[in-house]
Structure 1
């Protein structure tokens, strides 16, 4: 049976050799979320909500496809 070739791990050419503790996002803020308060108001009827994917009209965003 022929032997399966094994992958060869080569060091990345663009990184310094001492990258064991390298962290590109150290000291940086990755993301910041903003979630506005939602007032419970008008809702879609159940059948329409299932079709649109939400019960809240203000969250419905139709996308063309």
Structure 2
């Protein structure tokens, strides 16, 4: 059986927690930050969990996660 390939684009965007859940970064923190409040920007910097409905899709892209 050949080795499975990892989707490198997904590998750069997701990582697993110790319990096996998948973490992601939040959107809307790359530019146009001047009018966003400090609270909002601080919250956007935190990691978020991938929704359980999307987790299987991400796991398919990351077979060794």
TM-score scaled to structure 2, two decimals? 0.21
Q: Which has the larger radius of gyration?
A: 1
Point out which structure has higher relative CO (alpha carbons under 8 A, 6+ apart): 2
Higher helix proportion (structure 1 or 2): 2
TM-score scaled to structure 1, two decimals? 0.21
